[in-house]
Amino acid sequence: MIPHQGCQESGQNEHPEGHTVSIPTTGETFAKLIEHIRLAQEDAAMLAHLSRDNHPDQAKMWLMIEDKMKFMGHMIAKIATRRMH
């Protein structure tokens, strides 16, 4: 991929082949990352619920993963908040 010359924080830039491409903002990218982490956290919780009867050890593992995802989401939000100020 060819790096874009003069990339801005947000908006549209001219692609080398003449196409206009949209460049996401840092805030939009942080929000997208936080949303993906939140969805992964929900999925880990659901997997814990679904495996609790037949595989209790696996359910505990999924709960630990859910907790780690929650922590990651908080840390990413903290980084994003510092970066935006």
Q: Does some domain include residue 10?
A: no
Give the number of domains in the chain.
Answer: 1
> What distances in angstroms separate CA 16 from CA 1, 7, 20, 21, 42, one per listed residue?
10, 12, 9, 10, 40
Q: Does some domain include residue 68?
A: yes
45-54 tens-digit pLDDT: 999 999 999 9
Phi/psi at 20 (nearest 5 deg)? -90, 130
Q: Does some domain include residue 78?
A: yes
Q: Does some domain include residue 16?
A: no
Q: Does some domain include residue 9?
A: no
Q: Is the pTM of this model over 0.75?
A: no
Task: Provide the domain limits for residue 58.
Answer: 25-84
Q: Does some domain include residue 60?
A: yes
Q: Does some domain include residue 19?
A: no
42-82 tens-digit pLDDT: 999 999 999 999 999 999 999 999 999 999 999 999 999 99
